[in-house]
Chain A
């Protein structure tokens, strides 16, 4: 380099930057004594996955306002610092890093996807900041580290319950298992279903597979019809599930249908139409449940946003109330370690999705709602 790096202009700029930075650093120190409970939030708010992230943000903001209206926690209001991950792993890592080190939040809610949690969870864990997913259902979230939690029910818990309760009700003994074998979600759902069916003593008389993006399932269904099972068990994304079901009904397969989480979408009902009637699905959320908390949540959400809260909104809503409970138990709005231990100790928390506990391994434990589609809406089985 020919010249000195420190030209007069650069020197002034350097000092300005130092000044501004020190002002930022000083902020948290000055107000440390009685601070609001600062909760970081990382969600997919733009892009493809914003369909999941936006209801989550709306529910969190509603929960924050409801908590603050009734006096906050420990006399302090809850403050949300919301970051957009765009559904991207790097976006989630950056957001968590910023929340943990610059905003110095007490704990973090999010990110939206399991894949993002696998990337960003370790970052939070290293900074000893509790991070809790409100929509992560994959296997192995809890194993990331002691500071990583989730309140969303894993598939391995919901599907066996769906099989057990539907069998009680329908008393079937044979089943056909249909699933798309080229996406992780459907395949792992099918494996869980298979184990659950065998455990309940149900005989699987036909197993047929297809690919996600297939549209014609009639060859497989004609074969299933010949095996004549008591029920059809389907593990697929909503699009394939709905098309398959429509073709099944057209081909005269009138058996009851049990589905995985792909059935848990208003889109499923709209594509399947009348073929979706009677389908049974396990869900963490049932907006029609008769409980004052559910009614209040659904009414206020609808008033504020004009739509019915979905499963993502409901789990996010319960997530912030769980955090508030943990702050109350910990007795501090700033002690990160006390917060972690308090959260892990929560048992029998009464939320909108049901009675929630963390088990001894810190995994969520609660009863799933088993729903059935009747006249185009989900009702309890």
Chain B
């Protein structure tokens, strides 16, 4: 396999991992699948685009801005679509799935109505330059994607294991009732989880936007990939989402290289299927998830 394809796979996989992390954080803590994640990803990318193209900010400032925008949208999502559903223990968990779908559609249509369906690109030299390193070509956006993903993944890992909030997050994800009894405020931990997941989603949106383009339906394909990765990695598993994303990227690129490009998605999902038959709980999950889903 040409070395270039490996670079392609790592870059592609890193963006998948970042998208999947958002899903897995929310699923792990709240026990729901956030169908609006792809649209938060898109909206944050637009926020980054606005900061760079209209206000003329530096690309790194805009990355932080996109993450803040993502977090704010996460807060709105929590208050508008998730918390009202949680208050009613009598209604099924499916209702919050539907309310997040509604939130996503609303977000998408706001952007479609006011900005139209066109693709926009960042006014930045990242868009056209590239470096040749022997047999491989690397673009600045590749390096940015790989670096930012690494920083976020390592940061998240440390944060979850070393900080108090991180430990509380894991405790709620392990057993919400017991952690509540031990004095963890589950309500605010949920808020942290949604905001953090959406901020990471925002970073992913910004990175994809820099590498490619920003448009109102960009979240859809990434959302689908992200969802399948958390199934592959194990629902709610953070390392599962990271490794799962890289595996999916690698499978897709290898399919194009060794089979045919029209098999790209089919082969990727066929392999996912086989993996799930062998390990129903996903790569890093228990055979049966902890009595939540």
Contacts and interface: CB of A to CB of B under 8 A. Distances in A.
Interface of A: 48, 181, 208-211, 213-216, 218-220, 222-223, 225-226, 239, 242-243, 246, 249-252, 267, 270-271, 273-275
A115 B118 CA distance: 22
B128 A213 contact: no
Contact of B261 (A209, A252, A270, A274): A209
B4 A250 contact: no
Given A181-B262, A219-B252, A225-B4, 4 more contacts: A220-B261, A239-B215, A251-B137, A271-B120
Nearest to B12: A216
B221 A219 contact: no
Interface in B9-45: 9, 11-12
Interface residues of B, number: 37
B264 interface: yes
B119 A210 contact: no
B257 A222 contact: yes
A215 B208 contact: yes
Contacts of B208: 215
Interface string B238-263: 00000000000000110011001110
B220 interface: yes
A209 B260 CA distance: 8
Contacts of B137: 250-252
Contacts of A209: 260-262
B5 A219 contact: yes
Nearest to B221: A213
Most chain A CB within 10 A, of B8, B117, B208, B253, is at B8
A191 to B, nearest CB: 14
Nearest to A242: B119
The 7 lowest CB-CB distance pairs between A and B, nearest first, are A219-B256, A215-B212, A250-B130, A219-B253, A218-B8, A208-B261, A209-B262
Contact of A271 (B5, B119, B221, B253): B119
A213 B8 CA distance: 18
Nearest to B212: A215
Nearest to A178: B261
B165 interface: no
B108 to A, nearest CB: 13
A247 to B, nearest CB: 8
A239 B8 contact: no
Nearest to B131: A250
A181 B8 CA distance: 22
B127 A273 contact: yes
Interface in B129-159: 129-130, 132, 137, 139
B133 to A, nearest CB: 12
Please report whether the interface of chain A is mostly helix, strand, loop or mixed according to DSSP.
helix
Contacts of A222: 2, 4-5, 8, 257
A239 B257 contact: no
Contacts of A239: 119, 213, 215
A208 B264 CA distance: 11
B217 interface: yes
Contact of A267 (B119, B129, B252, B256): B119
Nearest to A270: B121
Contacts of A275: 128
28 contacts: A181-B262, A208-B256, A209-B260, A210-B264, A214-B221, A215-B212, A216-B12, A216-B211, A218-B8, A218-B11, A218-B12, A219-B5, A219-B12, A219-B253, A219-B256, A219-B264, A220-B261, A223-B257, A243-B119, A243-B212, A246-B128, A249-B128, A251-B130, A252-B130, A267-B118, A271-B119, A271-B120, A274-B128
Contacts of B127: 246, 273
Contacts of A226: 2
B61 to A, nearest CB: 23
Interface of B: 2, 4-5, 8-9, 11-12, 117-121, 127-130, 132, 137, 139, 208, 211-213, 215, 217-218, 220-221, 252-253, 256-257, 260-262, 264-265
A213 B213 CA distance: 11
Contacts of B220: 213
Contacts of A273: 121, 127-128
A249 B137 CA distance: 11
A215 B218 contact: yes
A216 B4 contact: no
A220 B4 CA distance: 11
A273 B137 CA distance: 20
Contacts of B264: 210, 219
Nearest to B121: A271
B12 to A, nearest CB: 5
Contact of A250 (B9, B12, B139): B139
Most chain B CB within 10 A, of A181, A210, A271, is at A271
A208 B262 CA distance: 7
A251 B4 contact: yes
B256 A243 contact: no
B119 A219 contact: no
B224 to A, nearest CB: 10
B17 to A, nearest CB: 14
B212 A223 contact: no
Given A213-B221, A239-B215, A251-B130, A223 B256 contact: yes
Contacts of B120: 271
Nearest to B263: A209
B143 to A, nearest CB: 13
A214 B215 CA distance: 12
A216 B260 CA distance: 16
A313 B176 CA distance: 63
Contacts of B253: 219
Contacts of B121: 270-271, 273
B251 to A, nearest CB: 11
A222 B8 CA distance: 9
Nearest to A208: B261
Given A267-B118, A271-B213, A275-B128, A210 B261 contact: yes
